[in-house]
Amino acid sequence: MRLTDRLSQPQKIVIVLALGMAFGAAGTYLVGFGNTSAGGWYAYAPLSQTPFTGTGMFAGARPHGWLRLLIWLALIGLWALLSVRVLRPSPGQAPHD
């Protein structure tokens, strides 16, 4: 017995939408690593013209285009796989036509 067997179809749809939003937020975070124009704090150091672009290991770094594409494709594929699993009819249910 799966965890989603006890849920109604509208509840399953809400779970699929919530998963999509969560994967969208995760993808935006992963793809925009170190991007100060997308938000966050951007300021100038006192008495200088040098912009502050963040600190840490990924400061100012952004993944290449092909890596961003792979991140999005992996997240979309995972969302589709989980959506099919969540929306699958229960073993005792007749499939809808």
The CA-atom distances, in angstroms, between 39 and each of 22, 53, 57, 73 are 19, 11, 18, 24
pLDDT < 70 stretches in the chain: 1, 34-62, 93-97
pLDDT at position 94 is 62
pLDDT at position 36 is 46
pLDDT at position 72 is 94
- Alpha-carbon distance 45 to 52, whole Å? 7
* Model confidence pTM above 0.95: no
Q: Is 2 exposed, middle or buried (0-12, 13-18, 19+ CB in 10 A)?
A: exposed
pLDDT at position 96 is 63
pLDDT at position 3 is 80
Domain ranges of the chain: 3-87
pLDDT at position 20 is 96
Contact 59, 66 (CB under 8 A): no
- Alpha-carbon distance 66 to 69, whole Å? 5
pLDDT at position 62 is 67
